[in-house]
Amino acid sequence: AQSVTQPDIHITVSEGASLELRCNYSYGATPYLFWYVQSPGQGLQLLLKYFSGDTLVQGIKGFEAEFKRSQSSFNLRKPSVHWSDAAEYFCAVGAGGYQKVTFGTGTKLQVIP
């Protein structure tokens, strides 16, 4: 069975600073990897996904993520954080023919002025 680990529960960054959120997965074959964002009281919105091909994936809102098979990682990055990026971020792995998607525990991002 697949699993996802997000080692950082809470991260605080200054507005304008760069951001990296960590995600490690466990799965025997090549997984499908996702990053979702959840604002308070809202559902989850897809930021980006890795399916195959180029290991550097561009997403919405200026986010990108890099798939590193050797490290079983799919870290999310943004070069300059905006106050509106404050939210909770979930990494997820999909596997199997019917794509069972398993989520990590999330990283809550706080942005300070």
Partner 1 sequence: EAGVAQSPRYKIIEKRQSVAFWCNPISGHATLYWYQQILGQGPKLLIQFQNNGVVDDSQLPKDRFSAERLKGVDSTLKIQPAKLEDSAVYLCASSSTLGGSAGNTIYFGEGSWLTVV
Summarize as ranges the residues that interact with partner 1 (CB under 8 A). Answer: 4, 6, 32, 34, 36, 41-46, 49, 51-52, 90, 94, 97-106
CB of 13 to partner 1, least distance (A): 21
- Nearer to partner 1 by C-beta: 7 or 79? 7
Q: Which is nearer to partner 1, 32 or 62 (CB)?
A: 32
Distance in angstroms (rounded) separating the CA atoms of residues 29 and 11: 30
DSSP assignment of 51-103 equals -SS-SEEE-GGG-EEEEEGGGTEEEEEESS--GGG-EEEEEEEEETTTTEEEE
Residue 35 vs 111, nearer CB to partner 1: 35
